[in-house]
Structure 1
Amino acid sequence: MKHLFSSNRTLRIAAIVLVTVAGISAVAVGIYGYNYIVVCQKEQAYTEQIGIGNNDISNKKYDTAIAAFSRAIEMKGTDTTPYLGLAEAYIGKQDYDSAVKCLQTGFAKTQNTAFNAKMEEVTALIDNKKKRGMKPPKGLRSGSIQLSWHKAIKA
């Protein structure tokens, strides 16, 4: 009975096949590893921006919070968290018009009903301003916000 690798030619072919399979496997593992690292770095950068934004809101640094949440939206525009944080920063600045636009955009991108409570909060703040005899932000009246919000939700 002849041994499987008795000829030099068979041995060379087996070695070439083995090296080729090992090379292809190494490339596949490398590509997977690279993609995994890139995804992890993007997720880490996103989480960092959310943290910066939340910290800045706590410290009443609304402009830097707006910048951080805006960067987070650029990274992950289908997540609810950065839109709600951005709206909170605008509320802190009493820029209710921008808060409403942010909430409407966030709802349109995510279809998440978590925006309803924040929209009600903005509406209550505008109503409170009206009760104290202050003019609501230009173009914003609580009734018009509710109407446009309900139209956005039904669409």
Structure 2
Amino acid sequence: MPKKLKELAEESTENQLAARIRESANQIWLAGLGAFSMAQQEGVKVFESLVQEGEKIQEKTKSVADERLAEMRSKATGTWDKLEKVFEDRVARALHSLSVPSRQDIDTLTQRVAELTDIAKKLSAEEEPGRPRAHRPKAE
């Protein structure tokens, strides 16, 4: 390490002092050049390692974000399903209070009409082909 100026001044004459100062300045200059050179060489390595570390962090962050997003979608889907069920129940109650038939009522009636149609077809097939139909009075 370079000596301090006072130490140099005490130990030598003016010419020697000037030579030592130049030598010390030259050593400082060379140390700076060496540091700059090392920084250039190591800088590329450091930059590349920082990029690699950044890629790892980005991958981990994306993975965690995807997991959180999946959780939120799952919760949202469950919430929407519950909301849809509540909405359907309330609409069904409102329609029932207005005496609007439900899907089940319509399905039951459709099935009953189909059964009655089958019975009517069987009854009309049982009548004799040559005999006119009996006149039946209309129900009032």
TM-score of the superposed pair, with normalisation by structure 1:
0.34
Instruction: Indicate the structure whose relative CO is greater, using CA pairs within 8 Å and at least 6 residues apart.
Output: 1
Q: Report the structure number with the largest CA radius of gyration.
A: 2
